[in-house]
Structure 1
Amino acid sequence: MTKNTGNHSRNTRQNPSMLDNLRPLIIDVAVPIGAYYVLKDGLGASTVAALAWSSVVPAVRTVWGLVRERRANALACLILVVNLVSLLVSTLAGDPRLMLAKDGAVSSTVGIGILVSVRLGRPMMTTAVMPFLVKGDAVKEAAWQRLTGGTSVRSADFRRRERLFSLVWGVALLAECVARVVGAYTVPVDTMVWLGTVVLIATMVVAFRVSGVLAAGPMERLLEAEVAAGTATVEAEGNSPLAMSTHK
Protein backbone atom coordinates (compact mmCIF):
# COMPACT_ATOMS: atom_id res chain seq x y z
CA MET A 1 0.00 0.00 0.00
CA THR A 2 2.76 2.41 1.03
CA LYS A 3 4.97 1.34 -1.88
CA ASN A 4 2.20 1.97 -4.43
CA THR A 5 1.57 5.42 -3.04
CA GLY A 6 5.27 6.24 -3.38
CA ASN A 7 5.32 5.00 -6.95
CA HIS A 8 2.22 7.04 -7.75
CA SER A 9 3.88 10.18 -6.35
CA ARG A 10 7.01 9.57 -8.43
CA ASN A 11 4.92 9.00 -11.56
CA THR A 12 3.00 12.20 -10.91
CA ARG A 13 6.25 14.16 -10.70
CA GLN A 14 7.70 12.45 -13.77
CA ASN A 15 4.57 12.98 -15.86
CA PRO A 16 3.66 16.66 -15.58
CA SER A 17 0.17 17.47 -16.79
CA MET A 18 -0.75 20.31 -19.12
CA LEU A 19 -1.86 22.21 -16.02
CA ASP A 20 1.57 21.75 -14.43
CA ASN A 21 3.24 23.24 -17.49
CA LEU A 22 0.75 26.10 -17.66
CA ARG A 23 1.02 26.92 -13.94
CA PRO A 24 3.68 29.66 -14.35
CA LEU A 25 1.52 31.44 -16.95
CA ILE A 26 -1.57 31.11 -14.77
CA ILE A 27 0.05 32.38 -11.58
CA ASP A 28 2.36 35.02 -13.03
CA VAL A 29 0.18 36.39 -15.84
CA ALA A 30 -3.46 35.27 -15.73
CA VAL A 31 -3.99 35.83 -11.98
CA PRO A 32 -2.74 39.45 -11.81
CA ILE A 33 -4.41 40.46 -15.09
CA GLY A 34 -7.65 38.75 -14.07
CA ALA A 35 -7.49 40.38 -10.62
CA TYR A 36 -7.12 43.81 -12.24
CA TYR A 37 -10.26 43.44 -14.37
CA VAL A 38 -12.29 41.88 -11.54
CA LEU A 39 -11.35 44.72 -9.18
CA LYS A 40 -11.83 47.48 -11.74
CA ASP A 41 -14.81 46.34 -13.80
CA GLY A 42 -16.43 43.89 -11.41
CA LEU A 43 -16.01 45.60 -8.05
CA GLY A 44 -15.76 49.19 -9.24
CA ALA A 45 -12.30 49.89 -7.82
CA SER A 46 -10.31 52.81 -9.21
CA THR A 47 -7.62 52.14 -11.80
CA VAL A 48 -4.89 52.95 -9.28
CA ALA A 49 -6.36 50.66 -6.61
CA ALA A 50 -6.92 47.81 -9.08
CA LEU A 51 -3.36 48.07 -10.37
CA ALA A 52 -1.95 48.23 -6.85
CA TRP A 53 -3.84 45.19 -5.56
CA SER A 54 -3.24 43.14 -8.70
CA SER A 55 0.49 43.74 -8.20
CA VAL A 56 0.54 41.81 -4.92
CA VAL A 57 0.95 38.33 -6.44
CA PRO A 58 3.75 39.24 -8.91
CA ALA A 59 5.47 41.28 -6.17
CA VAL A 60 5.41 38.32 -3.76
CA ARG A 61 6.57 35.93 -6.51
CA THR A 62 9.43 38.27 -7.43
CA VAL A 63 10.61 38.68 -3.83
CA TRP A 64 10.21 34.96 -3.13
CA GLY A 65 12.30 34.10 -6.19
CA LEU A 66 15.04 36.50 -5.13
CA VAL A 67 15.11 35.21 -1.54
CA ARG A 68 14.72 31.48 -2.14
CA GLU A 69 16.25 30.91 -5.58
CA ARG A 70 18.60 33.91 -5.72
CA ARG A 71 17.14 34.91 -9.07
CA ALA A 72 14.21 36.96 -10.31
CA ASN A 73 11.06 35.28 -11.58
CA ALA A 74 11.05 36.76 -15.09
CA LEU A 75 7.31 36.68 -15.79
CA ALA A 76 6.28 37.88 -12.34
CA CYS A 77 8.88 40.65 -12.45
CA LEU A 78 7.69 41.77 -15.89
CA ILE A 79 4.04 41.94 -14.83
CA LEU A 80 5.08 43.91 -11.74
CA VAL A 81 7.02 46.41 -13.87
CA VAL A 82 4.09 46.69 -16.29
CA ASN A 83 1.74 47.46 -13.40
CA LEU A 84 4.13 50.08 -12.04
CA VAL A 85 4.41 51.71 -15.48
CA SER A 86 0.62 51.63 -15.78
CA LEU A 87 0.32 53.29 -12.37
CA LEU A 88 2.70 56.00 -13.52
CA VAL A 89 1.00 56.72 -16.83
CA SER A 90 -2.46 56.58 -15.23
CA THR A 91 -1.61 59.85 -13.49
CA LEU A 92 -1.33 61.59 -16.88
CA ALA A 93 -4.41 63.57 -17.77
CA GLY A 94 -5.56 66.43 -19.94
CA ASP A 95 -4.35 66.00 -23.52
CA PRO A 96 -6.51 63.30 -25.21
CA ARG A 97 -3.71 62.50 -27.66
CA LEU A 98 -1.31 61.91 -24.78
CA MET A 99 -3.88 59.62 -23.17
CA LEU A 100 -4.03 57.59 -26.39
CA ALA A 101 -0.25 57.51 -26.74
CA LYS A 102 0.28 56.29 -23.18
CA ASP A 103 -1.49 53.02 -24.05
CA GLY A 104 1.67 52.10 -25.89
CA ALA A 105 3.69 52.30 -22.68
CA VAL A 106 2.56 48.86 -21.58
CA SER A 107 3.42 47.27 -24.93
CA SER A 108 6.84 48.89 -24.97
CA THR A 109 7.55 47.76 -21.40
CA VAL A 110 6.66 44.15 -22.21
CA GLY A 111 8.55 44.30 -25.50
CA ILE A 112 11.70 45.69 -23.90
CA GLY A 113 11.48 43.12 -21.10
CA ILE A 114 11.27 40.28 -23.63
CA LEU A 115 14.21 41.63 -25.67
CA VAL A 116 16.33 42.01 -22.53
CA SER A 117 15.56 38.41 -21.60
CA VAL A 118 16.80 37.30 -25.03
CA ARG A 119 19.98 39.34 -24.58
CA LEU A 120 20.54 37.68 -21.20
CA GLY A 121 20.13 34.23 -22.75
CA ARG A 122 16.89 33.44 -20.91
CA PRO A 123 14.14 34.12 -23.50
CA MET A 124 11.00 34.94 -21.56
CA MET A 125 8.46 33.68 -24.10
CA THR A 126 9.74 30.11 -23.64
CA THR A 127 7.39 29.84 -20.68
CA ALA A 128 4.49 30.63 -22.99
CA VAL A 129 5.34 28.24 -25.82
CA MET A 130 6.61 25.24 -23.82
CA PRO A 131 3.23 23.95 -22.50
CA PHE A 132 1.78 23.86 -26.02
CA LEU A 133 4.73 21.90 -27.44
CA VAL A 134 5.28 19.53 -24.53
CA LYS A 135 1.53 18.98 -23.86
CA GLY A 136 2.16 17.41 -20.46
CA ASP A 137 4.03 14.46 -22.02
CA ALA A 138 6.87 13.21 -19.79
CA VAL A 139 8.88 11.94 -22.78
CA LYS A 140 8.61 15.31 -24.51
CA GLU A 141 9.44 17.03 -21.22
CA ALA A 142 12.66 15.01 -20.98
CA ALA A 143 13.48 15.76 -24.62
CA TRP A 144 12.85 19.46 -24.01
CA GLN A 145 15.25 19.43 -21.07
CA ARG A 146 17.95 17.80 -23.20
CA LEU A 147 17.47 20.36 -25.96
CA THR A 148 17.55 23.37 -23.65
CA GLY A 149 20.28 21.88 -21.47
CA GLY A 150 22.72 21.60 -24.35
CA THR A 151 23.12 17.82 -24.19
CA SER A 152 21.58 17.14 -27.59
CA VAL A 153 23.11 17.55 -31.04
CA ARG A 154 20.01 19.61 -31.82
CA SER A 155 20.44 21.93 -28.84
CA ALA A 156 22.14 24.78 -30.69
CA ASP A 157 19.42 24.97 -33.35
CA PHE A 158 16.67 24.58 -30.77
CA ARG A 159 17.98 27.34 -28.53
CA ARG A 160 18.40 29.62 -31.53
CA ARG A 161 14.74 29.09 -32.44
CA GLU A 162 13.83 29.58 -28.78
CA ARG A 163 15.50 33.00 -28.78
CA LEU A 164 13.96 33.85 -32.15
CA PHE A 165 10.46 33.16 -30.79
CA SER A 166 10.92 35.73 -28.03
CA LEU A 167 12.67 38.14 -30.40
CA VAL A 168 9.69 38.17 -32.76
CA TRP A 169 7.29 38.97 -29.91
CA GLY A 170 9.55 41.64 -28.44
CA VAL A 171 9.93 43.43 -31.78
CA ALA A 172 6.20 43.09 -32.53
CA LEU A 173 5.20 44.70 -29.23
CA LEU A 174 7.66 47.55 -29.70
CA ALA A 175 6.31 48.10 -33.21
CA GLU A 176 2.77 48.17 -31.80
CA CYS A 177 3.86 50.83 -29.32
CA VAL A 178 5.38 52.96 -32.10
CA ALA A 179 2.22 52.59 -34.20
CA ARG A 180 0.05 53.71 -31.28
CA VAL A 181 2.20 56.76 -30.56
CA VAL A 182 2.39 57.80 -34.22
CA GLY A 183 -1.33 57.24 -34.66
CA ALA A 184 -2.15 59.20 -31.51
CA TYR A 185 -0.55 62.33 -32.96
CA THR A 186 -1.41 61.92 -36.66
CA VAL A 187 -4.85 60.27 -36.76
CA PRO A 188 -8.07 61.97 -35.56
CA VAL A 189 -8.74 61.17 -31.91
CA ASP A 190 -12.16 59.61 -32.59
CA THR A 191 -10.59 57.28 -35.16
CA MET A 192 -7.63 56.33 -32.99
CA VAL A 193 -9.92 55.30 -30.12
CA TRP A 194 -11.02 52.21 -32.08
CA LEU A 195 -7.99 51.94 -34.34
CA GLY A 196 -5.74 51.29 -31.34
CA THR A 197 -7.59 48.05 -30.67
CA VAL A 198 -7.31 47.05 -34.32
CA VAL A 199 -3.55 47.70 -34.22
CA LEU A 200 -3.20 45.50 -31.11
CA ILE A 201 -5.17 42.62 -32.63
CA ALA A 202 -3.26 42.86 -35.92
CA THR A 203 0.03 42.83 -34.01
CA MET A 204 -0.96 39.70 -32.13
CA VAL A 205 -2.06 37.91 -35.30
CA VAL A 206 1.16 38.80 -37.14
CA ALA A 207 3.33 37.84 -34.14
CA PHE A 208 1.58 34.49 -33.78
CA ARG A 209 1.99 33.75 -37.47
CA VAL A 210 5.61 34.86 -37.82
CA SER A 211 6.80 33.28 -34.56
CA GLY A 212 5.01 30.07 -35.51
CA VAL A 213 6.68 29.83 -38.92
CA LEU A 214 10.15 30.94 -37.84
CA ALA A 215 10.37 29.44 -34.37
CA ALA A 216 7.52 27.42 -32.83
CA GLY A 217 7.07 25.14 -35.86
CA PRO A 218 10.79 24.29 -36.17
CA MET A 219 11.00 23.88 -32.37
CA GLU A 220 8.18 21.33 -32.48
CA ARG A 221 9.91 19.39 -35.27
CA LEU A 222 13.21 19.43 -33.37
CA LEU A 223 11.40 18.24 -30.25
CA GLU A 224 9.79 15.36 -32.14
CA ALA A 225 13.17 14.41 -33.63
CA GLU A 226 14.72 14.43 -30.15
CA VAL A 227 11.90 12.25 -28.81
CA ALA A 228 12.44 9.78 -31.65
CA ALA A 229 16.20 9.77 -31.06
CA GLY A 230 15.71 9.19 -27.33
CA THR A 231 13.31 6.32 -27.98
CA ALA A 232 15.74 4.72 -30.45
CA THR A 233 18.56 5.00 -27.90
CA VAL A 234 16.51 3.34 -25.19
CA GLU A 235 15.51 0.50 -27.53
CA ALA A 236 19.12 0.02 -28.65
CA GLU A 237 20.29 -0.16 -25.05
CA GLY A 238 17.54 -2.64 -24.26
CA ASN A 239 18.61 -4.89 -27.13
CA SER A 240 22.33 -4.69 -26.38
CA PRO A 241 24.17 -7.95 -25.46
CA LEU A 242 24.92 -6.54 -21.99
CA ALA A 243 21.28 -5.78 -21.31
CA MET A 244 20.21 -9.20 -22.60
CA SER A 245 22.76 -11.00 -20.41
CA THR A 246 21.62 -8.97 -17.43
CA HIS A 247 18.02 -10.06 -18.01
CA LYS A 248 19.19 -13.67 -18.14
Structure 2
Amino acid sequence: MTTKTSKQSTFGPLIVDVAVPLGSYYLFKDAFGMSTFAALAWSSVVPALRTVWSLVRERRTNGLAGLILVVNVVSLVLSFVSGDPRLMLAKDGAVSSTIGIGILVSVALGRPMMTAGMKPFLVKGDQAKEAAWQRLASGRAAASAAFLRKERTFSVVWGVALLAECVARVVGAYTIPVDTMVWMGTVVMVGTMVLTFLVSGALGAGPMEAMVSAEVENGTEAEVAGEEVALPVEEAVAA
Protein backbone atom coordinates (compact mmCIF):
# COMPACT_ATOMS: atom_id res chain seq x y z
CA MET A 1 0.00 0.00 0.00
CA THR A 2 1.44 3.40 -0.99
CA THR A 3 1.68 6.37 1.36
CA LYS A 4 -0.95 8.23 -0.68
CA THR A 5 -3.39 5.31 -0.48
CA SER A 6 -2.74 4.92 3.24
CA LYS A 7 -3.49 8.59 3.87
CA GLN A 8 -6.67 8.40 1.82
CA SER A 9 -7.94 5.39 3.77
CA THR A 10 -7.07 7.09 7.06
CA PHE A 11 -8.34 10.61 6.46
CA GLY A 12 -11.02 9.92 3.83
CA PRO A 13 -13.77 8.91 6.29
CA LEU A 14 -12.85 11.83 8.57
CA ILE A 15 -13.20 14.32 5.70
CA VAL A 16 -16.51 12.84 4.50
CA ASP A 17 -18.06 12.46 7.95
CA VAL A 18 -16.82 15.71 9.53
CA ALA A 19 -15.56 18.30 7.04
CA VAL A 20 -18.25 17.81 4.39
CA PRO A 21 -21.27 17.95 6.74
CA LEU A 22 -19.88 20.93 8.64
CA GLY A 23 -18.91 22.88 5.52
CA SER A 24 -22.12 22.06 3.67
CA TYR A 25 -24.22 23.17 6.66
CA TYR A 26 -22.84 26.71 6.50
CA LEU A 27 -22.97 26.68 2.68
CA PHE A 28 -26.66 25.72 2.61
CA LYS A 29 -27.59 28.07 5.45
CA ASP A 30 -25.55 31.19 4.68
CA ALA A 31 -25.03 30.99 0.90
CA PHE A 32 -28.33 29.41 -0.15
CA GLY A 33 -30.47 30.88 2.62
CA MET A 34 -31.92 27.55 3.79
CA SER A 35 -33.49 27.15 7.21
CA THR A 36 -31.38 25.69 10.00
CA PHE A 37 -33.31 22.42 9.89
CA ALA A 38 -33.07 22.09 6.09
CA ALA A 39 -29.33 22.84 6.14
CA LEU A 40 -28.77 20.25 8.86
CA ALA A 41 -30.85 17.66 7.02
CA TRP A 42 -29.11 18.10 3.66
CA SER A 43 -25.66 18.16 5.25
CA SER A 44 -26.34 14.65 6.61
CA VAL A 45 -26.99 13.12 3.18
CA VAL A 46 -23.34 12.54 2.21
CA PRO A 47 -22.36 10.65 5.40
CA ALA A 48 -25.49 8.51 5.07
CA LEU A 49 -24.69 7.65 1.44
CA ARG A 50 -21.10 6.82 2.37
CA THR A 51 -22.29 4.38 5.01
CA VAL A 52 -24.61 2.63 2.55
CA TRP A 53 -21.85 2.49 -0.08
CA SER A 54 -19.44 0.92 2.41
CA LEU A 55 -21.96 -1.81 3.18
CA VAL A 56 -22.57 -2.51 -0.53
CA ARG A 57 -18.88 -2.45 -1.44
CA GLU A 58 -17.75 -4.75 1.37
CA ARG A 59 -20.65 -7.14 0.73
CA ARG A 60 -20.74 -8.14 4.37
CA THR A 61 -22.30 -7.01 7.61
CA ASN A 62 -20.13 -4.58 9.53
CA GLY A 63 -21.15 -4.07 13.15
CA LEU A 64 -20.18 -0.41 13.46
CA ALA A 65 -21.34 0.57 9.97
CA GLY A 66 -24.64 -1.18 10.54
CA LEU A 67 -25.27 0.62 13.82
CA ILE A 68 -24.45 4.00 12.28
CA LEU A 69 -26.69 3.33 9.28
CA VAL A 70 -29.72 2.33 11.35
CA VAL A 71 -29.42 5.27 13.75
CA ASN A 72 -28.84 7.79 10.93
CA VAL A 73 -31.86 6.64 8.94
CA VAL A 74 -34.24 6.55 11.91
CA SER A 75 -33.09 9.85 13.39
CA LEU A 76 -33.17 11.57 9.98
CA VAL A 77 -36.79 10.50 9.45
CA LEU A 78 -37.76 11.63 12.94
CA SER A 79 -36.05 14.97 12.41
CA PHE A 80 -37.88 15.58 9.13
CA VAL A 81 -41.18 14.72 10.79
CA SER A 82 -40.63 16.89 13.84
CA GLY A 83 -38.84 19.74 12.04
CA ASP A 84 -36.70 20.28 15.12
CA PRO A 85 -33.09 21.28 14.33
CA ARG A 86 -32.05 20.56 17.92
CA LEU A 87 -33.23 16.97 17.54
CA MET A 88 -31.12 16.81 14.40
CA LEU A 89 -28.06 17.81 16.43
CA ALA A 90 -28.93 15.44 19.28
CA LYS A 91 -29.09 12.67 16.66
CA ASP A 92 -25.28 12.60 16.56
CA GLY A 93 -25.34 11.80 20.25
CA ALA A 94 -27.74 8.94 19.55
CA VAL A 95 -25.24 7.55 17.06
CA SER A 96 -22.46 7.65 19.66
CA SER A 97 -24.60 6.08 22.37
CA THR A 98 -25.83 3.27 20.11
CA ILE A 99 -22.30 2.42 19.02
CA GLY A 100 -21.09 2.66 22.62
CA ILE A 101 -23.82 0.32 23.86
CA GLY A 102 -23.10 -2.07 20.99
CA ILE A 103 -19.42 -2.15 21.94
CA LEU A 104 -20.16 -2.81 25.62
CA VAL A 105 -22.62 -5.57 24.72
CA SER A 106 -19.99 -7.18 22.48
CA VAL A 107 -17.59 -7.20 25.45
CA ALA A 108 -20.22 -8.85 27.64
CA LEU A 109 -20.70 -11.50 24.95
CA GLY A 110 -16.97 -12.17 24.86
CA ARG A 111 -16.44 -10.75 21.37
CA PRO A 112 -15.06 -7.20 21.83
CA MET A 113 -16.12 -5.21 18.77
CA MET A 114 -13.09 -2.91 18.68
CA THR A 115 -10.60 -5.77 18.30
CA ALA A 116 -11.13 -5.98 14.55
CA GLY A 117 -10.01 -2.39 14.10
CA MET A 118 -7.12 -2.60 16.55
CA LYS A 119 -5.52 -5.88 15.48
CA PRO A 120 -4.08 -4.74 12.09
CA PHE A 121 -2.21 -1.90 13.81
CA LEU A 122 -0.57 -4.31 16.28
CA VAL A 123 0.12 -7.23 13.94
CA LYS A 124 1.15 -5.07 10.94
CA GLY A 125 0.88 -8.01 8.55
CA ASP A 126 3.75 -9.86 10.26
CA GLN A 127 3.18 -13.63 10.22
CA ALA A 128 5.10 -14.18 13.46
CA LYS A 129 3.00 -11.55 15.22
CA GLU A 130 -0.18 -13.02 13.72
CA ALA A 131 0.74 -16.45 15.10
CA ALA A 132 1.60 -14.91 18.48
CA TRP A 133 -1.75 -13.09 18.54
CA GLN A 134 -3.60 -16.33 17.82
CA ARG A 135 -1.81 -18.14 20.65
CA LEU A 136 -2.59 -15.34 23.08
CA ALA A 137 -6.23 -15.00 21.98
CA SER A 138 -6.89 -18.75 22.06
CA GLY A 139 -5.62 -19.19 25.62
CA ARG A 140 -2.61 -21.31 24.62
CA ALA A 141 0.00 -18.79 25.79
CA ALA A 142 1.10 -18.10 29.36
CA ALA A 143 0.03 -14.44 29.08
CA SER A 144 -3.37 -15.23 27.51
CA ALA A 145 -5.45 -14.25 30.55
CA ALA A 146 -3.80 -10.83 30.81
CA PHE A 147 -4.00 -10.37 27.04
CA LEU A 148 -7.75 -11.04 26.97
CA ARG A 149 -8.31 -8.63 29.88
CA LYS A 150 -6.51 -5.88 28.00
CA GLU A 151 -8.51 -6.70 24.87
CA ARG A 152 -11.74 -6.21 26.81
CA THR A 153 -10.40 -3.05 28.44
CA PHE A 154 -9.67 -1.51 25.05
CA SER A 155 -13.28 -1.92 23.92
CA VAL A 156 -14.73 -0.87 27.29
CA VAL A 157 -12.82 2.42 27.14
CA TRP A 158 -14.28 3.15 23.71
CA GLY A 159 -17.78 2.16 24.77
CA VAL A 160 -17.75 4.37 27.86
CA ALA A 161 -16.18 7.28 25.95
CA LEU A 162 -18.86 7.18 23.26
CA LEU A 163 -21.62 7.13 25.87
CA ALA A 164 -20.03 10.17 27.53
CA GLU A 165 -19.85 11.92 24.15
CA CYS A 166 -23.54 11.21 23.68
CA VAL A 167 -24.40 12.91 26.96
CA ALA A 168 -22.30 15.95 26.03
CA ARG A 169 -23.88 16.24 22.57
CA VAL A 170 -27.47 15.89 23.79
CA VAL A 171 -27.00 18.39 26.62
CA GLY A 172 -25.32 20.81 24.22
CA ALA A 173 -28.00 20.37 21.56
CA TYR A 174 -30.71 21.59 23.95
CA THR A 175 -28.78 24.20 25.94
CA ILE A 176 -26.43 25.86 23.40
CA PRO A 177 -27.47 27.95 20.35
CA VAL A 178 -27.83 25.74 17.28
CA ASP A 179 -25.25 27.62 15.17
CA THR A 180 -22.71 27.27 17.97
CA MET A 181 -23.45 23.61 18.59
CA VAL A 182 -22.92 22.75 14.91
CA TRP A 183 -19.18 23.43 15.17
CA MET A 184 -18.90 22.63 18.87
CA GLY A 185 -20.26 19.15 18.23
CA THR A 186 -17.29 18.55 15.95
CA VAL A 187 -14.92 19.82 18.64
CA VAL A 188 -16.51 17.45 21.18
CA MET A 189 -16.19 14.53 18.77
CA VAL A 190 -12.55 15.21 17.86
CA GLY A 191 -11.62 15.79 21.49
CA THR A 192 -13.31 12.56 22.52
CA MET A 193 -11.54 10.60 19.79
CA VAL A 194 -8.10 11.96 20.66
CA LEU A 195 -8.53 11.38 24.39
CA THR A 196 -9.96 7.89 23.84
CA PHE A 197 -7.11 6.93 21.53
CA LEU A 198 -4.62 7.93 24.22
CA VAL A 199 -6.42 6.22 27.11
CA SER A 200 -7.29 3.03 25.22
CA GLY A 201 -3.73 2.87 23.91
CA ALA A 202 -2.25 3.19 27.39
CA LEU A 203 -4.65 0.74 29.04
CA GLY A 204 -5.24 -1.73 26.22
CA ALA A 205 -3.43 -1.57 22.90
CA GLY A 206 0.00 -0.67 24.31
CA PRO A 207 0.22 -3.58 26.77
CA MET A 208 -1.25 -5.93 24.15
CA GLU A 209 1.42 -4.93 21.64
CA ALA A 210 4.11 -5.63 24.23
CA MET A 211 2.59 -9.05 24.95
CA VAL A 212 2.50 -9.91 21.26
CA SER A 213 6.18 -8.96 20.88
CA ALA A 214 7.11 -11.00 23.97
CA GLU A 215 5.16 -13.99 22.63
CA VAL A 216 7.00 -13.72 19.32
CA GLU A 217 10.32 -13.91 21.19
CA ASN A 218 9.10 -16.85 23.25
CA GLY A 219 8.03 -18.65 20.11
CA THR A 220 11.40 -18.02 18.47
CA GLU A 221 13.27 -19.28 21.55
CA ALA A 222 11.11 -22.41 21.62
CA GLU A 223 11.88 -23.12 17.96
CA VAL A 224 15.63 -22.68 18.55
CA ALA A 225 15.51 -24.95 21.59
CA GLY A 226 13.63 -27.56 19.56
CA GLU A 227 16.27 -27.46 16.81
CA GLU A 228 19.09 -27.86 19.37
CA VAL A 229 17.40 -30.92 20.87
CA ALA A 230 16.73 -32.46 17.46
CA LEU A 231 20.31 -32.04 16.23
CA PRO A 232 22.02 -34.38 18.77
CA VAL A 233 19.32 -37.00 18.16
CA GLU A 234 19.96 -36.91 14.41
CA GLU A 235 23.73 -37.16 15.00
CA ALA A 236 23.24 -40.14 17.28
CA VAL A 237 21.12 -41.92 14.68
CA ALA A 238 23.71 -41.22 12.00
CA ALA A 239 26.49 -42.63 14.20
* Shorter-chain TM band: 0.7 to 0.9
Distance, in Å, in 1 between the alignment partners of 2:117 and 2:165 is: 20
Q: Runs (4+) of structure 1 moved beyond 3 Å?
A: 29-37
Residue 214 of structure 2 corresponds to 225
1:52 shift after superposition: 8.0
1:190 shift after superposition: 2.1
CA 1:190/1:134 → structure 2, altered by over 3 Å: closer, same or farther? same
1:107 shift after superposition: 1.1
Match of 2:72 among 74, 86, 95: 86
Residue 50 of structure 1 corresponds to 49
Cα contact 1:111–1:173 (8 A) shared by 2: yes
Amino acid at match of 1:246: E
> What secondary structure does 2:113 align onto?
coil
Cα contact 1:32–1:55 (8 A) shared by 2: no
Amino acid at match of 2:177: P
Cα contact 2:51–2:68 (8 A) shared by 1: no
Cα contact 1:133–1:220 (8 A) shared by 2: yes
1:238 shift after superposition: 0.7
1:175 shift after superposition: 0.7
> What secondary structure does 2:156 align onto?
helix
Match of 1:246 among 223, 231, 234: 234
Structure 2 stretches lacking a partner, 5+ long: 25-41
Residue 194 of structure 2 corresponds to 205
Work out whether 1:216 is the aligned partner of 2:215.
no
Distance, in Å, in 2 between the alignment partners of 1:159 and 1:126 is: 11
Give the 5 Å matches for 1:84-163: 84-91=70-77, 92-93=79-80, 94-163=83-152
| Count of equivalent residues | 205
CA 1:53/1:78 → structure 2, altered by over 3 Å: closer, same or farther? closer
Cα contact 1:32–1:58 (8 A) shared by 2: no
- 1:150-201 alpha-carbon deviations (Å, 9 max, x no partner): 0001000000000100110111111111100011112222221111000000
1:234 shift after superposition: 0.6
Amino acid at match of 1:128: G
> What secondary structure does 2:60 align onto?
helix
CA 1:81/1:163 → structure 2, altered by over 3 Å: closer, same or farther? same
Cα contact 1:51–1:87 (8 A) shared by 2: no
| TM-score in terms of structure 1 length | 0.72
Distance, in Å, in 1 between the alignment partners of 2:99 and 2:158 is: 9
| TM-score in terms of structure 2 length | 0.75
Residue 5 of structure 1 corresponds to none
Residue 38 of structure 2 corresponds to none
Distance, in Å, in 2 between the alignment partners of 1:131 and 1:52 is: 22
> What secondary structure does 1:102 align onto?
helix
Distance, in Å, in 1 between the alignment partners of 2:59 and 2:13 is: 11
Structure 1 stretches lacking a partner, 5+ long: 1-16, 63-75
Give the 5 Å matches for 1:13-52: 47=45, 50=49
Distance, in Å, in 1 between the alignment partners of 2:58 and 2:187 is: 31
